[in-house]
Amino acid sequence: MPVDSPSELMVTQEVPHVSRCLEETHSLDEFSTSYKDILNTNSMEKPEVSGVIAKADIKPKSIYRAKKWSDEVENLYRFQQAGYRDEIEYKQVKQVDMVEYWPETGFVKKLQRRNNTFYYYNKQRECEDKEVHKVKVYVY
């Protein structure tokens, strides 16, 4: 079937199976619908979120800044460097059960950022004394 207008050409190139359907309906002159209306995903029903994930959506009740270094502050520093509040938020967002820790020190070994790149951490302390006051400690 020959292409009459540039918009039909664009539809044919972007979504061939939809354009064929539109060409048939236009040739019958039954109704006029754009391919954007056909592909509208906002009107589709979305699956319900499972109760397990919704229950795991825990929000902190309060927050304070760390005053001195500890093992807990070190791990919070690593999570916050990777873009998360703490281990709870990391597990919620990435939907993982376990985080990798160094067996010798108990510090976080590897974290995946929200953009799917990885941060790899050393066995030793990485949060220097001058960085401790930047660490946020969340209370649940």
Least confident stretch, 41-50, 115-124, 128-137: 41-50
Higher pLDDT, 83 or 20: 83
What's the confidence (pLDDT) of residue 35? 40
Instruction: Return phi, psi of residue 8, to 5°.
Output: -70, -35
Whether pLDDT at 62 is above 50: yes
Whether pLDDT at 36 is above 60: no
Sheet holding 100-101, edge to edge: 100-101, 108-112, 118-120
Over residues 34-55, the mean pLDDT reads 41
Over residues 84-113, the mean pLDDT reads 94
- Rounded Cα distance between 69 and 131, Å, is 9
Question: Hey, how many other C-beta atoms are within 10 angstroms of the C-beta on 40?
Answer: 10
